[in-house]
Amino acid sequence: MWLNPKMYRTRLFLDVLRIFVFPVVTLYETQTYAGISLGFLAPPAYLGSIILWGFIRNLFYDYQQHRNCSRLGAKPIPRIKGKLPGNIDILLRMMKAFKTAYLMDVYLELFQEYQCTTLNTRILWVDQIITMEEEHMKFVSSTGFNHFWRGRRQKERMEEFLGNGIFNRDDEVWKMHRANARPFFARERISDFQTFEKHSAKTLSVLSQITAFNLPCDAQDLYARFTLDSASEFLFGNNLDTLSGTLPQPGLAQMGYKGSATNDAFGSFTQAFELAQCIITQRARLGYFWPLAEVRKNKMKEAALITKTWLDPIVERALEEKAKARRAGVEAPLADKTFLEHLTHSTEDVSLIRDELLSILLASRDTTACLLTFVTYFMAVYPEVTKRLREEVLATHGTHNVPTYESLRGLKYMRAVLNETLRLFPPVPLNVRESRPEPVSLPPAQQASFPGAKSIPTPKEHLYMPGSTPIMFMPLLMQRNPDLWGPDADVFDPDRWLDPKRISIVTANPMMYTPFSAGPRICVGQNFAYNEASFFLVKLLQQFDSFTLAPEFQPEGSLPPVTWKQKQGRQAIEKIWPSAALTLYVKGGLWVRFGKADHGDS
Ligand code: HEM
Ligand SMILES: *[C@@H]1O[C@H](CO)[C@@H](O)[C@H](O)[C@H]1NC(C)=O
Ligand SMILES: *[C@@H]1O[C@H](CO)[C@@H](O)[C@H](O)[C@H]1NC(C)=O
């Protein structure tokens, strides 16, 4: 029997009983039964009983694992062996790294130290698998899909915020969500660019007002507004109109949870949205015992309440509309319905509809905004890329033409730039699944055993994946792995995607590039996202021709530490501080000066 995933305190309580109370009570009972008094030896004896009991449980678990391993004919996944009991030093090292180190470097270091691409961190004696191995990601997301699910641990972290939504459900409920969403991403639907046109125009007009004063703008914030307004209109036909709110002020902006903070009404919604993502990430980082940090206060409560307060009235209004239409005896055909209208026809459950909406808003806003943010970053760092991109845009669309589904297909270089940005900065850099209760064996690793070690022969044995255990997989590390991408894996080079020889490597091995994931849970919005980003970039480049980073406007504490310069790989060259909270973002926002092209009259 499983607890409601919201009841994390009860789960913690049961763990305390299992780990501490059981041995203590047993010792007490035994001693009373035997009529012995422990006297001054009592405290060490009780402590000893807890340790001994832990030791026995561990031995028993290892024995079980060992048996299961041989039964499945697989080898155990290498365990990290820290210096302190329970790998506490590893936990501390990770917590420190999340504050100061480069994106996911702490994991990369561990893979290199142990010379393998899949590891068991086993912090506080709880198994937790991490992997950057392509074969294992393929197994978890596609070929071995049925052996995994989102799982209980993940639901426990996200339930309060995402509830019944698509990201937080498995099996039948997930299938229902997927079936509900699919028709809305069919080609006819996503080739209607009216919403993109409207919101791109608005975004560029906001931008032109800022550049008229020769001020920089937090591109990350602006893009989040653009993608949220577009998504809300596409999904519920009702624009949240966040582009009309107050933007963060250059030079005055303070750090929000992710980018720069905003204080308008929209600010409360996005702050809650971002806070929730940060809490989920924090919980994941703390691992199995995260409830210890939230015994007194459920940090998610407030954020969840704010998003509900925003979305519930929208859902209620849609339900009223439906009732009205029904009374009048009219019903629009599916092709004319918004996603929200479609949902109100399948259920009357306000919370279910809200959860579905929230999940898709989350899926579409931050990811696409992240893609645009990092494209802008690269355009600022590589003016020659900007020039080529702009030439392609002007040659195909002139300075004013509105892109269509077909005209975007012709933008080869644009697509290469988007692909290359998604390779180095996949908006979802890390993902988690849990094995179902049955243990399973993972296929042998394909790539060399650790990054940069082609010479070491790849082990050919299967690995043993224990039951009910989380596995964290990291497309970001895989997509930067030199063993897959060559020695220049860390270099931004869109031409990679135009060179038949290099493309053929990816075509032969599509799993090495999975910014949209793979298998049955692959992103449903992939084409929507490519279209939205390309559409916006065409309109942007028709009017603007230069992008310059404005580090002097980054909020305090958001520039990369100087110590990074001595490190290797992208860390040494990064001009911004990329961070992750479910999705990637630039710490403090991306402050950029947008330079208007001469002919750009709007
Ligand atoms: C550059 C933009 C985007 C990227 C990189 C991206 C990436 C991803 C990834 C990696 C997943 C898998 C998540 C998981 O397995 O836990 C996913 C799922 C999903 N995405 Fe996207 N996404 C993007 C844009 C969008 C857009 C614009 C929408 C909708 C309008 C969308 C809707 C979804 C949905 C509904 C799922 C859940 C699928 C499921 O669990 O079955 N995505 N996306
Ligand atoms: C070993 O396999 C059995 C049977 O499949 C399973 O119930 C048990 O949980 C497994 N043990 C571990 C440690 O995964
Ligand atoms: C971009 O990547 C996708 C794989 O996700 C591939 O199908 C496509 O051909 C690539 N396009 C270009 C121009 O690189």
Radius of gyration over every alpha carbon of the chain, rounded to an integer in angstroms = 26
**What's the pLDDT band for 262 if we cut at 50, 70, 90?**
low
Whole-number pLDDT of residue 105? 93
Ligand nearest the Cα of residue 475 is 1
C-alpha atoms less than 13 angstroms from C-alpha of 393 in its C-beta half-sphere:
26
Residues counted in the chain = 602
pLDDT of residue 394: 97
278 is in an annotated binding site: no
Percent of the chain with pLDDT over 70: 96
Q: Is the beta carbon of 467 within 6 A of some atom in ligand 2?
A: yes
Q: Which two tokens stand for residue 582?
A: 């479910």
321 phi/psi in degrees, rounded to 5: -55, -45
Instruction: Report which DSSP code applies to 425.
Output: S
CB 151 within 8 A of CB 174: no
The pLDDT of residue 571: 94
Compare 499 and 262 and report the one with higher pLDDT. 499
Segment 285-295, tens digit of pLDDT = 888 889 999 99
The C-alpha atoms of residue 103 and residue 353 are separated, in whole angstroms, by 35
Q: State the Cα–Cα distance between residues 510 and 137, nearest whole angstrom.
A: 12
Residue 440 has pLDDT above 90, yes or no: yes
Average pLDDT for 528-544: 97
Q: Which residue has the higher pLDDT, 187 or 223?
A: 223
Q: How far, in Å, CA of 132 to CA of 112, rounded? A: 11
pTM of the entire structure? 0.93
Angle at 588 between CA 231 and CA 303, to 5 degrees: 55
Nearest CA to ligand 2 atom 1: 68
Q: Tokens 């208007």: give the residue.
A: 596
Range list of β-strands (E), 400-542? 431-435, 440-442, 463-465, 470-473
pLDDT band at 447 (very low <50, low <70, confident <90, very high): low
Distance 215 CA to ligand 1 centre (A): 34
| Residues ≥6 apart with Cβ < 8 Å to 464 | 65, 68, 69, 72, 74, 75, 76, 77, 439, 441, 442
> Does the CB atom of residue 60 touch ligand 2 within 6 A?
no
Q: Is 394 left (phi over 0), alpha (psi -120 to 50) or beta?
A: alpha
Instruction: Read off the pLDDT of residues 360-383 as tens digits, 9 standing for 90 and up.
Output: 988 998 999 999 999 999 999 999
Q: What percent of the chain has pLDDT over 90?
A: 64
**Residue 262 φ then ψ, to 5°:** -125, 145
What whole-number distance in Å separates Cα of residue 360 and Cα of residue 343? 13
Tokens of 585: 């973002």
Which pLDDT band holds residue 600 (cuts at 50, 70, 90)? very low
Is the four-CA dihedral 420, 423, 428, 433 of positive or negative sign? positive
> In the CATH hierarchy, which top-level class contains the domain 79-150+170-259+324-349+360-602?
mainly alpha
Alpha carbon separation from 154 to 122, 170, 306, 334, 372 (Å, rounded): 17, 11, 22, 34, 28
First CA to last CA distance, the chain: 62
Whether 350 contacts 319, CB under 8 Å: yes
Q: What is the pLDDT of residue 602?
A: 46
Nearest ligand atom owner, CA of 527: 1
Q: How confident is the model at residue 355 (pLDDT cuts 50, 70, 90)?
A: very high
- Is residue 145 over pLDDT 80? yes
Q: Is the CB of 441 under 6 A from ligand 2?
A: no
Q: Is the pLDDT of residue 459 over 80?
A: no
Query: Strand order in 118-120's β-sheet?
Result: 118-120, 129-131, 470-473, 431-435, 148-149
Cα separation, 170 vs 153, in Å, equals 13
Domains of the chain: which residue ranges?
Answer: 7-72, 79-150+170-259+324-349+360-602
Q: Taking residues 564-576, what's their average pLDDT?
A: 93
3-state secondary structure 507-575: HHCHHHCCCCCCHHHCCCCHHHHHHHHHHHHHHHHHHEEEEEECHHHCCCCCCCCHHHHHCCCHHHHCC
Residue 147 Cα, ligand 2 centroid: separation in angstroms? 14
The three-state DSSP-derived secondary structure of 67-132 is HHHHHHCCEECCECCCCCHHHHHHHHHHHHHHHHCCCCHHHHHHHHHHCCCEEECCECCECCEEEC
335 or 372: which leads in pLDDT:
372
Give the pLDDT score at 453: 56
94 or 6: whose pLDDT is higher?
Answer: 94
pLDDT tier for residue 271 given thresholds of 50, 70 and 90? confident
pLDDT at 22 > cutoff 50: yes
Determine the average pLDDT of the residues in 120-139: 94
Burial annotation 133-143 (CB, 10 A radius, 16+ → b, else e): bbbbbbbbbbe
**Mean pLDDT of the 233-246 span:** 83
Residue 497: nearest ligand to its CA?
A: 3
CA of 498 to the centre of ligand 3 (A): 9
| Whole-angstrom distance, CA of residue 224 vs CA of residue 370 | 8
pLDDT at 374: 98
**Is the pLDDT assigned to residue 334 strictly greater than 90?**
no
pLDDT of residue 325: 86
466 lines ligand 2 (CB under 6 A): yes
pLDDT tens by residue, 54-67: 999 999 999 999 99
Given ligand 3 and candidates 408, 412, 415, 501, which is best to mutate, with the most ligand atoms within 8 Å of its CB?
415
The answer on pLDDT for 198 being more than 50 is yes
Least confident among 25-34, 73-82, 383-392: 25-34
Per-residue pLDDT at 550: 96
| pLDDT tens for each residue of 380-421 | 999 999 999 999 999 999 999 999 999 999 999 999 999 999
**Which strand (E) or helix (H) includes residue 203?**
helix 194-212
- Does any ligand 1 atom lie closer than 6 A to the CB of residue 430? no
What is the model's pLDDT at position 451?
A: 56
Is 54 exposed, middle or buried (CB count within 10 Å of its CB: 0-12, 13-18, 19+)?
A: middle
Distance CA 470, CA 44 (A): 35
At residue 42 the predicted structure's pLDDT band, cuts being 50, 70 and 90, is confident
pLDDT band (50, 70, 90) for residue 266: low
**H or E segment to which residue 586 belongs:** strand 583-586
User: Average pLDDT, whole number, for the chain?
Assistant: 90
Handedness of CA 266, 103, 301, 308 (dihedral sign): positive
**Ligand positioned closest to the Cα atom of 57:** 2
* pLDDT confidence bin for 449, thresholds 50/70/90: very low
CA of 389 to the centre of ligand 3 (A): 16
Residue bearing the CA closest to ligand 2, atom 6: 438
Distance separating alpha carbons of residues 399 and 541, to the nearest angstrom: 8
C-alpha 369 to ligand 1 mean position (Å): 13
Helices 300-328/265-286 angle, 10° precision: 120
Give the pLDDT confidence score for residue 598 in this predicted structure: 82
